[in-house]
């Protein structure tokens, strides 16, 4: 009788967990207060120039040109509020795409912008982190002057 009670309790607990607890990442779950909502934008080069594809919100899975992307970023900012913008730039796109999307996001009012580069051959990504500017020159005389100055 003791074993049958244990089985009944385990069965009852399994049923409660299956029907009461919402599944992970379902619409019934909410984001934890410490995590901001993320908006992902894919940037890639096509025959007609740079194209932008949003992976969240009402603009999901649509391809946009730059001037359309400016509009939907501003509208997403109005509807979503403060959220994290993740820009994933394909490695075949020009390097200037990173700064173009960042400028558009700043103009729309986003503050947390995270640019990534996606290498299509390996399927890997790396975050681009901007630091303070450094002095650079190809003029050998100026390089020698800087070395002497530092001594």
* Residue 61: other Cβ atoms inside 10 A: 9
Q: Does domain 36-131 have CATH number 3.30.420?
A: yes
Please give the helix or strand (H or E) that residue 147 lies within, else none.
Answer: helix 140-150
**Domain range annotation of the chain:** 36-131
One pLDDT digit (tens) per residue for the chain, 151 residues: 576 776 665 655 555 445 555 554 444 445 556 667 888 889 999 888 888 888 766 667 778 888 888 888 888 888 888 888 999 999 999 988 998 888 989 998 999 999 999 998 999 999 998 878 777 778 888 878 877 877 7
Strand ranges in 6-128 using DSSP code E only, listed in sequence order:
38-46, 49-54, 63-64, 84-90, 112-119, 124-127
Q: What confidence score (pLDDT) does residue 131 get?
A: 79
Give the strand pairing for 38-46 and 49-54: antiparallel
């Amino acid at each position: 009788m003791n074993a049958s009670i244990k089985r009944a309790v385990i069965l009852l607990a399994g049923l409660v967990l299956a029907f009461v607890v919402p599944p992970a990442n379902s619409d019934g779950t909410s984001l934890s207060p410490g995590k901001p909502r993320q908006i992902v934008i894919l940037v890639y080069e096509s025959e007609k120039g740079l194209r932008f594809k949003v992976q969240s919100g009402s603009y999901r899975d649509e391809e946009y040109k730059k001037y359309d992307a400016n509009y939907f970023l501003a509208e997403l900012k109005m509807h979503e509020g403060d959220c994290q913008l993740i820009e994933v730039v394909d490695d075949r796109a020009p390097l200037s795409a990173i700064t173009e999307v960042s400028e558009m996001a700043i103009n729309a009012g986003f503050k947390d912008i995270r640019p990534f580069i996606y290498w299509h051959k390996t399927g890997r990504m790396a975050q681009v982190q901007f630091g303070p500017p450094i002095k650079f020159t190809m003029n050998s005389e100026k390089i020698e002057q800087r070395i002497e100055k530092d001594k």
